[in-house]
Amino acid sequence: MMSKHEKYYTTKANFMLHGGDYNPDQWLDRPDILADDMELMKLSHTNTFSVGIFAWSALEPEEGVYAFEWLDDIFENIYKNGGRVILATPSGARPAWLSHKYPEVLRVNASRVKQLHGARHNHCFTSKVYREKTQSINTLLAERYGNHPALLMWHISNEYGGDCHCEQCQHAFRDWLKSKYNNDLKSLNDAWWGPFWSHTFNDWSQIESPSPIGESAVHGLNLDWRRFVTDQTISFFENEVVPLKEMTPNIPITTNFMADTFDLIPFQGLDYSKFAKHLDVISWDAYPAWHNDWESTADLAMKVGFINDLYRSLKQKPFLLMESTPSSVNWHEVNKAKRPGMHLLSSMQMIAHGSDSILYFQWRKSRGSSEKFHGAVVDHDNSTENRVFKEVAKVGQTLEKLSNIVGSNRSSDVAILYDWDSNWAINDAQGFGVKTKRYPQTLQQHYRTFWEKNIPVDVITKEQDFSEYKLLLVPMLYLVSEETISRLKTFVANGGTLVMTYISGIVNEHDLTYLGGWHKDLQEIFGIRPLETDTLYPSDNNYVTYRNQSYELKDYATVLENHSAIIEGHYKEDFYADTPAVTSHTYEQGNAYYIGARLDDQFHHDFYQELIKDLSIEPVHPVKHGKGVSVQARHDEKNDYLFLMNFTEERQPVTFEKSVRDMITGEKIKGDLILEKYEARIVAKSKMN
């Protein structure tokens, strides 16, 4: 197994990828535009282009009639230009002839209404016809371009998501359930708590996917449907890549993951922890709402860091930023442009957290339809003189000086556990507060202190190894199987430090509550037993006293019965006043902390600061700076690469205790420097010194 300090190359390239989605199929009647593109690519210092993502109708305008000549030219021209191609399979959007001739490929929504042709991702993942058609076109692409020297990697479809409720999918779901429950309906009825509302099934054919016109309150059914949708999406993906793996085994494969843009939380529709196992490289599409009016720039940057650390941690190696915007998007409620300097800063944050690319949607703005005002490298003016083009070129020039960083990784003593199953289950739970569960946001709240203190964090999933971390955080782990509980127990027993919070360990993997109270192993680990969870109105106030300080409590408070734990904090008010709110407990060689209430940021800062000190957890580099500056690092066997980023609107002083070398200017730095508004500096420190 490779050390985290060794190089992990995500593609054949030993340079930072810079470029993005290129749609020459929109401009086939404008050879002058296509000629301009080649020159503009050089001037913008871009080198890599994702091609063919929505080009099916241009590649196969009629069934069995193919037109590859234009793509041949694009490959050749990009290669002669010194660039590389990420070739996409076109399944994300079908040609109209396919939908018209084979209507079974169209999705049926949860209300059992068949969808019309249009938009994108409007296809059934189960459809045998669609699987055959996608595999056929992919085979032709692999045959024609698999050995082309410009081909860098495969981009499979685009932003997989959504579900289909057609009869084909119903049959597939029932088959999936038969496999999961060993063809035993009693096991399924037990897992779904069938007697509730007389929902016991006595034949597999009676089972339907969740629907607003049918069943939506059987939580075990809802959870299994979401798991099925992930598995069926992966099955469709695996069908797509069969010819690519057979004919181009050395070309890496990816597909672009997503995040919710408004809250900037992980995409909720698919379990990426499962999907990641089928990819050679993780890539994702990042569109933060910079300069919004509901949070500070630094607050948003923290959330971006969390998503980056999650997607990097899925494979514990560098990832790719597959899509971003150099300016604004076109689907936010307010589509605000990036302010001067923000594009370089936000790009460097991606590199700092493990990306080996800065790629955009889109290279050139579309002339018509829904994305004609979405940000792009090349605007409608076709000019190199506008601000956005110049900022893109500056990013490209910067990346050209960062080739040594390609393949380097990050290392961490701290991990936070993120779980898609648990998030689905708690959102489905008809209890607690409808608007205040906020599982991903709660994890980000716990992540904040470490981000502010420049302490790297791996955001891991329940299948990953816990043993290499000093500190493991599992906030709001509502759904937790006995297998995961056992692994947490082993982690603490072997000397790890575990932090758990309110609304954790409530249900098993079937979303069935643990009878007899909290699971006995959790009681053993933590030395307590949660008795009940009080859910507060927004107007309610309570406080917790911890280390002689008072911290505000909002939303949730767990009433605890103490068995053998040390009481670190007490509730101040209400019927549970003076009872335990925060506890610690030694279990074998390790320690377990339980935080019973949702507390403010100051509490997390003070609480985690003590653990950081006790566990000798160090920041990436001894750097002094003001609030809103982030210092992140990547490492290889020879160097530490430090990124100093000012996510504030003011100049910020930074002080180095040790000498470093600026990777862009080459100058040596020791002592004080000033980061301008939105400025990023990248420095290297040799491990040999």
Sign of CA pseudo-dihedral 464, 466, 471, 476: positive
Report the Cα 657 to chain-centroid distance in Å.
34
H-state helical runs in 181-271: 185-191, 219-247
DSSP code string of 502-553: SS-S-B-TTSPBPTTSS-HHHHHHHSEEEEEEEEPPTT--EEEEETTEEEEE
Which of 21, 17, 43 is CA-nearest to residue 382?
A: 43
Q: Secondary structure of 274-310 in the HEC alphabet?
A: HHHHHCCCCEEECCCCCCCCCCCHHHHHHHHHHHHHH
Q: Rounded to whole angstroms, how far apart are CA atoms 18 and 41?
A: 10
Longest dimension (CA), the chain: 77
Residues 6 or more apart whose Cβ sits within 8 Å of residue 219: 192, 425, 428, 429, 511
Q: Rounded to whole angstroms, how far apart are CA atoms 498 and 416?
A: 10
Task: Count other C-beta atoms under 10 Å from residue 213's C-beta.
Answer: 10
Check 323, 391, 509, 679 and give the catalytic one.
323
Residues 6 or more apart whose Cβ sits within 8 Å of residue 234: 274, 275, 278
Check if the beta carbon of residue 170 is closer than 8 Å to that of residue 209.
yes
618 a catalytic residue: no
62 a catalytic residue: no
Check 60, 159, 240, 509 and give the catalytic one.
159
Which of 21, 48, 632, 664 is CA-nearest to residue 399?
A: 664
Phi-psi region of 592 (alpha: psi -120 to 50; beta: other; left: phi over 0): beta
What six digits make up the tokens of 666?
Answer: 């080459």
What six digits make up the tokens of 28?
Answer: 């086939």
Q: Rounded to whole angstroms, how far apart are CA atoms 641 and 689?
A: 14
Q: Rounded to whole angstroms, how far apart are CA atoms 633 and 390?
A: 27
Residue keyed to tokens 């309110």 = 502
Residues 6 or more apart whose Cβ sits within 8 Å of residue 184: none
Phi-psi region of 325 (alpha: psi -120 to 50; beta: other; left: phi over 0): beta
Q: Which residues of 449-480 are buried (b: 16+ CB within 10 A; e: fewer)?
A: bbbbbbbbbbbbbbebebeebbbbbbbbbbbb
What six digits make up the tokens of 629?
Answer: 């500056």
Check if the beta carbon of residue 670 is closer than 8 Å to that of residue 660.
yes
Residue type, 175: D
The bridge status of strand 549-562 relative to strand 597-599 is antiparallel
Task: Count other C-beta atoms under 10 Å from residue 195's C-beta.
Answer: 10
- Going from the C-alpha of 508 to that of each of 333, 386, 480, 515, 589, the distances in angstroms are 39, 56, 5, 10, 27
First-last CA distance in the chain: 27
Q: Which residues are tagged catalytic? A: 159, 323
